[in-house]
Amino acid sequence: MHTTTLSTAANGAIITDHRHQFLTDVIEGLSSSPKCLHSKYFYDEQGDKLFQQIMQCPEYYPTRCEMEIIRQQREEIIGSVLKYLPQFDVVELGAGDASKSIHLLQTVCNTLPDFTYYPIDISWNIIQDLEKRLPEALPGLRIHGLHGEYLEMLQQTTELSHRNKLVLFMGGNIGNFDARTAVNFCRELRRTMRPGDLLLIGFDLKKHPQVILDAYNDKQGLTRDFNINLLHRINRELDADFDPMLFHHYPTYDPATGACKSYLVSLEKQKVCIGKEATITFEKDECIFMEVAQKYSPEEIQRLAFTAGFSPVGSFVDASGCFADCLWRG
Ligand X SMILES: C[S@@+](CC[C@H](N)C(=O)[O-])C[C@H]1O[C@@H](n2cnc3c(N)ncnc32)[C@H](O)[C@@H]1O
Which residues of this protein are in contact with ligand X, per CB under 6 A? 40, 43, 51, 94-96, 100, 120-123, 126, 149-150, 170-171, 173
HSE at residue 16, side-chain half, CA atoms within 13 A, is: 0
CB closer to ligand X out of 91 and 122: 122
CB closer to ligand X out of 95 and 234: 95
Query: Taking the complex as a whole, how short is the minimal distance between the CB of residue 60 and ligand X, in angstroms?
Result: 11
Query: Taking the complex as a whole, how short is the minimal distance between the CB of residue 246 and ligand X, in angstroms?
Result: 27
Q: How many CB atoms lie within 10 A of CB 184?
A: 12
- H or E element in which residue 293 lies: strand 287-294
Query: Taking the complex as a whole, how short is the minimal distance between the CB of residue 120 and ligand X, in angstroms?
Result: 6
Query: Taking the complex as a whole, how short is the minimal distance between the CB of residue 243 and ligand X, in angstroms?
Result: 26
Query: Taking the complex as a whole, how short is the minimal distance between the CB of residue 197 and ligand X, in angstroms?
Result: 18
CB closer to ligand X out of 39 and 164: 39
Strand 259-266 to 287-294 pairing: antiparallel
State which amino acid sits at residue 145.
G
Question: DSSP assignment, residue 170?
Answer: -
Distance CA 239, CA 297 (A): 43
CB closer to ligand X out of 266 and 291: 291
Query: Taking the complex as a whole, how short is the minimal distance between the CB of residue 48 and ligand X, in angstroms?
Result: 6
CB closer to ligand X out of 73 and 123: 123
| Pair 264, 231: CB distance under 8 Å | yes
Query: Taking the complex as a whole, how short is the minimal distance between the CB of residue 121 and ligand X, in angstroms?
Result: 5
Q: How far is CA 168 from CA 75, 283, 317, in A?
A: 16, 42, 16
CB closer to ligand X out of 51 and 282: 51
Distance CA 50, CA 125 (A): 13
State which amino acid sits at residue 136.
E
CB closer to ligand X out of 120 and 280: 120
86 prior amide bond cis, ω within 30: no
Question: φ, ψ for residue 117 (rounded to 5)?
Answer: -105, 125
Distance CA 40, CA 151 (A): 14
Q: How many CB atoms lie within 10 A of CB 330?
A: 20
